[in-house]
Amino acid sequence: MTTPAPKSTPGDMSTFNILHGFTEALVRGMRSSFLGDSDYHHLTQCESLDDVRLNLTESDYSDVLQDTNTLTPSGLQSAAVEKLVTEFQYLRSQAVEPMGTFLDFITYEYMIENVMLLLKGTLSGRDINELIEQCHPLGMFKESTMRSIPTFESNARGWADLYQTVLVDTPVGPYFSMFLQESSNRVGGEVRNVIEEVEIEIIKSSLIKYWIEDFANFVEKLGGETAEIMGDILKVRADTNAINITLNSFGTPLNEPAMRSSDRKRLYPAVGHLYPVGTSMLSDVSSEEELGRVLELFPKYSSIWNVHAAGSEKSIDDAFYERDVQTLELAFEGQMHFGVFYAYVKLKEQEIRNLVWITECILQAQKDEINKFVPVFSRHSPWRVTTKSR
């Protein structure tokens, strides 16, 4: 008689380490690779990109930069992203189910962005080779698939063919199917020319919404610490999308009364701390003042909005980045959950943004702006400083 496998969640202390302990230990060890406060201090004192390169030889980026003769912001970004992708792929190779599927979900966002980049670029007449070079490595399909995406006509039939012959076999195919089905339902059963009727960014927002909802449903089914920690991260991500969609709609057709309660509301993810009451209220706002009054009802976001409304030098995107870094860092404090893998990828992305910002400031002789970045695991982060002072 075969003993049945134990029924447990990824957060079950009795089985987590047996299945996932090694891979989790790897990503927690990778935490030591983040640049520290002293690294950022030295980088911001650099007078040239050669000085930056010299300082980074003492960091975890030394290996990927050793063959780089002339450092540029774009070259540094490419090398850093390549390093992150290599690390992620190694983690994926060590993962068993359900961690494998969880890590795959992380890559779906980049797949969506790549497809949208290819479609938008080809509509603008840009070269396919140039576009493929700009695609994120974590969201790459087979080269034949990548080159097939821009070849379809920008009409209703072309979109249907694109899905049926190319995207249907990709992991993000179901999201495109959902978008086409929703578009078809809105026009009485006939898929419109969505390229002409809806801007690419709106299509992208729809696909990201489906991905967030699907991801959130997956982690909820996993249960345990993963459902709690990763579930909160995705709720915050969903809320951020809803706020940004609302803010960016002002001055566009999406802010017209008929569009606010239909097309714009459909872009809000059906998860999050704002959902459903907050998102229902967001669907009615028509100006920044009304948006501010809604967000004042939600302390989690009122402080972020106040940064924007007060005309601070810090943009609302910077405020969101700070909040995200704080949330993602907390994922490393919990034990036996998958959220730490998502947190690692997103925190590394923030570090790469920091490096690009610093090098751009040096290159453009804008040293007064150089400290406007969000460090990761910094002892001087606002939330840590506030905690220590209490």
| Contacts by residues 305-314 (CB-CB < 8 Å, ≥ 24 positions apart) | 305/243, 313/372, 314/372
> Which pLDDT score is estimated for 30?
96
Buried b (16+ CB within 10 A) or exposed e, 210-240: bbbbebbebbeebebbbbebbbbbbbbbbbb
What is the amino acid identity at position 118? L
pLDDT tens digits, one per residue of 93-145: 999 999 999 999 999 999 999 999 998 887 788 899 999 999 999 999 999 99
Question: Which pTM was predicted?
Answer: 0.92
SS3 state of residue 125: coil
Decide if 103 contacts 91 (C-beta within 8 A).
yes
pLDDT at residue 253 above 90? no
pLDDT at residue 11 above 60? no
- Dihedral in degrees, nearest 10, Cα atoms 276, 278, 283, 288: -170
Instruction: Tell me which of 318 and 284 has the higher pLDDT.
Output: 284
Whether residue 82 contacts residue 137, with contact meaning beta carbons closer than 8 Å, is answered with yes
Q: Yes or no: say if 271 and 218 are a contact pair by the CB < 8 Å rule.
A: no
Measured between alpha carbons, how far is 230 from 215 in angstroms, rounded to an integer? 10
State both tokens at 356: 């690009």
**Phi and psi, residue 154, nearest 5°:** -90, 60
The per-residue pLDDT for 196 is 43
Question: What's the pLDDT score for residue 183?
Answer: 76
Please state, in angstroms and rounded to a whole number, the distance separating the CA atoms of residues 82 and 78.
Answer: 6
pLDDT digits (tens, 9 = 90+) for 364-380: 999 999 999 999 999 98
Prior bond of 73 cis (ω within 30°): no
User: Which residue type is seen at 388?
Assistant: K
Helix then strand then coil, in percent of the chain rounded to 5, is 70, 0, 30
What does the pLDDT look like over 24-67, one tens digit per residue? 999 999 999 999 999 999 999 999 999 999 999 999 999 999 88
- Please give the Cα distance from 231 to 334 (Å, whole number): 13
Phi–psi pair at 48, nearest 5 degrees? -145, 165
Answer for the pair 369, 313: CB distance below 8 angstroms, yes or no: no
Coil, strand or helix: which one is 3?
coil
pLDDT confidence of residue 252: 87
253 vs 190, residue with greater confidence: 253
